[in-house]
Structure 1
């Protein structure tokens, strides 16, 4: 019998954790440090990469961008997040069922778990580390915002990294993305990978179904439902 190598990639914000308060404070500080004046309006964040959020935020605040803005803003984001790592525990939270679902999927044979996120790597790692989820995920092979690739391309990159590290091949249909926004659904479709969407972010279940998610769940609280969906989507 052929062994199925399965890869589960997790979105972080509003799928596994909610650190919205800290994120808003960090963006305000990074904007002030980079532009030299207070942030008035932050761009929408669900399903987007950091560079998309930064460029739209700059436009919303009447900033004429230059080539220096993106790297400077990303550096400021990383520095501001690092100084608030304690706030992640105080004001952040792990969403219902996330910890239990990570544990349950981790017990499946031939299954690896990592992240696919629009956050830059240092901030993504801080979020899951400070909220106690890092030991359940292989963060070394994750897909992170790097200013170049779309989320669909980052999904492919994470799949390739995980395969190279583990000495196996993760097929498109054996790589499941779990996320919470229609933009994440679109990224999974482009990468030809199945997606489980949870209505724990700003999108409703109806919007996620309308975007074409393979499975839509209200939350991660029903661990068995998530595991069953992963198994069914990957042919087990």
Structure 2
């Protein structure tokens, strides 16, 4: 298919590799936005740690939980040193706040094509499908359960905001987890709609499938300034993952650099 030919031309082929491909689905791409929920949770966590009313951080996108927690603390007038010292406590309270608030399915919904795309993609052999998210692990697991996605991804193989604050490092951490489990560094594919995540995933050595979300790109994608494909939606991404045999992905993807970050 054309996508196969496109993939083959993106980079020089890497040596053949039998290691399963690690497919990292950006959780924020799978779900409807939770930005306002996140800002309220971070405000609540900061209030519990500081013992006084707090103001939410200004709206921002693509932040990991550690980044948002730090911004929230700085918004309360703390110095950078004070915010850094309190960060572990705030992240710990963040999980407590999330559990106490609960999360109704209506507050954490998968996008319409998410379940179908994951079911299609996980039917392909030779790949491990998991999540990449800036949300701390306990809260990410709550969201996966609330949105009905828990059984569709390997939650033990991904990377979470509780692991690091930088997207590049999160991609590398996911690769190291797979290496520790399987004994080899895996080729990695990151599926995301967010340019910042896409760029930092590329820096970490992963191939990127970017979801355009506006339908402007054709089914077979096009090159977009970073190694990978730009596709219109999650279902098309799943079709590409299924139709391109995973051993082809292994041969033509560059394994992540172990010294990234």
**Contact 2:17/2:251 (CA < 8 Å) preserved in 1?**
no
**Contact 2:41/2:98 (CA < 8 Å) preserved in 1?**
yes
Where in structure 2 are there 5+ consecutive unaligned residues? 1-15, 218-222, 253-261
* Residues 19 and 230 of structure 1: CA distance in aligned 2, closer, same or farther (over 3 Å): farther
Query: Aligned-pair distance for 1:221?
Result: 3.9
Say whether residues 1:150 and 2:163 are aligned partners. no
CA distance in 1 between counterparts of 2:116 and 2:183 reads: 26
> After superposition, where does 1:180-219 map in structure 2 within 5 Å?
180-200=193-213, 212=226, 214-219=228-233
> After superposition, where does 1:82-97 map in structure 2 within 5 Å?
82-87=99-104, 89-97=105-113
**Contact 1:22/1:84 (CA < 8 Å) preserved in 2?**
no
CA distance in 1 between counterparts of 2:94 and 2:44 reads: 8
Say whether residues 1:169 and 2:184 are aligned partners. yes
Where in structure 1 are there 5+ consecutive unaligned residues? none
CA distance in 2 between counterparts of 1:2 and 1:234 reads: 5
RMSD between aligned residues: 2.9
Which 10-residue stretch deviates more, 186-195 or 214-223?
214-223
- Residues matched between the structures, number: 225
Question: Alignment partner of 2:93: what SS?
Answer: helix
Q: What's the TM-score, normalizing by structure 2?
A: 0.74
CA distance in 1 between counterparts of 2:149 and 2:89 reads: 29
**Contact 1:22/1:92 (CA < 8 Å) preserved in 2?**
no
* Residues 11 and 161 of structure 1: CA distance in aligned 2, closer, same or farther (over 3 Å): same
Aligned match of 1:179:
192
Query: Aligned-pair distance for 1:74?
Result: 0.5
| Higher radius of gyration, 1 or 2 | 2
* Residues 157 and 40 of structure 1: CA distance in aligned 2, closer, same or farther (over 3 Å): closer
* Residues 51 and 217 of structure 1: CA distance in aligned 2, closer, same or farther (over 3 Å): same
Deviation per CA, 1:151-186: give whole Å up to 9, x if none.
222212212212332x35343xx3101112222122
Aligned match of 1:23:
38
Q: What's the TM-score, normalizing by structure 1?
A: 0.81
Deviation per CA, 1:101-154: give whole Å up to 9, x if none.
111121111111111211111011111122111111111122112364622222
* Structure holding more strand per residue: 1
CA distance in 1 between counterparts of 2:233 and 2:17 reads: 33
Deviation per CA, 1:67-89: give whole Å up to 9, x if none.
432012111211111123332x1
Question: Alignment partner of 1:86: what SS?
Answer: coil
> After superposition, where does 1:2-13 map in structure 2 within 5 Å?
3=18, 5-13=20-28
CA distance in 2 between counterparts of 1:106 and 1:30 reads: 36
CA distance in 2 between counterparts of 1:228 and 1:125 reads: 29
